[in-house]
């Protein structure tokens, strides 16, 4: 294990930021810590980077106890914080040179490494412009490059794609995948469930300073053992009948493999054990009742459903309200 966190607690005055969390991160994996605003993600990453001391519990990176071997730990990690750190008056190249010096990079490899990162982040043409004139996305990419210049075996990224447009976000994630291919371990905090789902090998869901669930996205979703089918009824002329929908709901409630049904306007959400099994039965029931189906869609649960299942509340609503 590259990272081992055991029963870590942290309070800030009256705020219980971490309420006894335990986590493990395997070498060569992309690990995602997911949770809404204020859940404790940044606090966790700051403890790993030695910037915040836990009140209790044990934290190890590569077998080194973080609290006792802070200097050695710092030499093996790369950290890109949530807020932008790049300075406005330096150029991109000067920033990278500055970070190269901070990490004591040998003069022989310094220039090549700077060039490589400028190319990787697609910043070559802007290398000698002051960062003052950069867009938010360019600044974020430079920030990432600065954290990677010493080729750290463990990379800690706090919300790496916050504020980036879809294209740049994809570039950043492609780059993170390449780092993994090169053998790095990546620990990433994120608010974006869809991203974590696509790119993380393992995730932990954190909520109010506690780990609510851990596992691979696939396994976590699989544990829910339910797929979702949405049925919209209505004839070709848009005719919709309350009675028909109620009759269909009644029929589906008694069907084998159907776990629950829920009305949502003209739509009926059907939670089923498996889409493959339930779809033909739903169509049969509708046909037997002569209820016209306007639209039918089916999906597997996402990590947002996993979050809802383990925490008892929706992810999106919490993050939107900033709780």
Choose the binding region for ligand ATP from 31-39, 55-63, 95-103, 138-146 (rule: CB under 6 A): 31-39
Q: Beta partners for 3?
A: 25, 61
Kindly tell me which of 36 and 152 has the beta carbon lying closer to Mg ion. 36
In 10 A of CB 112, how many CB atoms? 10
Q: Is 261 in the site for ligand ATP (CB under 6 A)?
A: no
Among Mg ion, ligand ATP, none, the one that 39 touches (CB under a kind-dependent 5 to 8 A) is ligand ATP
3-state SS of 129-147 is CEHHHCCHHHHHHHHHHHH
Q: Is 40 in the site for ligand ATP (CB under 6 A)?
A: yes
Site for ligand ATP in 111-130 (CB under 6 A): none
Q: Is 19 in the site for ligand ATP (CB under 6 A)?
A: no
Residue 292: in which H helix or E strand, if any?
none
Q: Encoding tokens for residue 87?
A: 């300075």
- How many residues bind ligand ATP, per CB under 6 A? 13
Q: How far is the CB of 150 from ligand ATP (least distance, A)?
A: 25
Q: Is 259 helix (H, G, I), strand (E, B) or coil?
A: strand
Among 4, 9, 28, 38, binds ligand ATP (CB under 6 A): 38
150 binds, among ligand ATP, Mg ion, none (CB under 5 to 8 A by kind): none
Cα(302)–Cα(191) distance, integer angstroms: 14
Closest-by-Cβ residue to Mg ion is 42
Q: How many residues are present in the chain? A: 323
Among 41, 95, 139, 141, binds ligand ATP (CB under 6 A): 41
- Residue 138's alpha-carbon distances to 34, 80, 86, 92, 99, in angstroms, are 25, 14, 10, 10, 17
Q: How far is the C-alpha of 153 from the C-alpha of 91, rounded, in Å?
A: 27
Q: Cα separations (Å) of 32 from 93, 156, 172, 239, 277? A: 30, 10, 15, 46, 33
Among 42, 50, 91, 185, binds ligand ATP (CB under 6 A): 42
Site string for ligand ATP, 57-96 (x = CB under 6 A): -------------------------x--------------
311 contributes a contact to ligand ATP by CB under 6 A? no
Residue with tokens 């991160």: 25
Contact residues: ligand ATP, CB under 6 A: 12, 15, 17, 35, 37-43, 82, 191
């Amino acid at each position: 294990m590259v990272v081992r966190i055991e029963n870590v607690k942290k309070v800030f005055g009256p705020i219980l930021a971490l309420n006894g969390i335990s986590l493990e991160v395997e070498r060569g994996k992309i690990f995602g810590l997911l949770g809404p605003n204020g859940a404790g993600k940044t606090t966790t990453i700051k403890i790993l980077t030695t910037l915040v001391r836990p009140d209790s519990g044990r934290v190890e990176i590569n077998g080194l106890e973080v609290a006792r071997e802070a200097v050695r730990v710092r030499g093996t990690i790369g950290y890109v914080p949530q807020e932008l750190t790049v300075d406005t008056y330096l150029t991109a190249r000067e920033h990278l040179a500055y970070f190269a010096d901070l990490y004591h990079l040998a003069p022989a490899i310094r220039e090549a490494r700077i060039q490589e990162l400028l190319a990787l982040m697609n910043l070559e043409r802007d290398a000698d412009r002051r960062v003052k004139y950069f867009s938010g996305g360019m600044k974020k990419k430079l920030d990432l490059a600065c954290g990677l210049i010493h080729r750290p075996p463990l990379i800690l990224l706090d919300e790496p794609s916050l504020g980036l447009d879809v294209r740049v976000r994809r570039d950043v994630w492609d780059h993170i995948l390449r780092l993994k291919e090169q053998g790095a371990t990546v620990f990433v905090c994120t608010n974006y469930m869809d991203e974590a789902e696509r790119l993380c090998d393992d995730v932990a869901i954190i909520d109010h300073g506690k780990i609510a669930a851990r596992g691979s996205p696939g396994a976590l979703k699989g544990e829910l053992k339910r797929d979702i089918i949405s049925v919209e009824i209505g004839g070709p002329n848009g005719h919709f009948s309350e009675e028909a929908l109620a009759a269909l709901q009644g029929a589906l409630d008694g069907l084998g493999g159907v776990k629950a049904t829920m009305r949502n306007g003209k739509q009926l959400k059907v939670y089923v054990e498996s889409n493959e099994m339930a779809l033909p039965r739903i169509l049969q029931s509708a046909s037997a009742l002569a209820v016209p189906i306007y639209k039918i869609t089916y999906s597997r649960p996402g990590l947002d459903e996993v979050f809802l299942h383990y925490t008892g509340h929706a992810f999106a609503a919490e993050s939107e309200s900033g709780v």
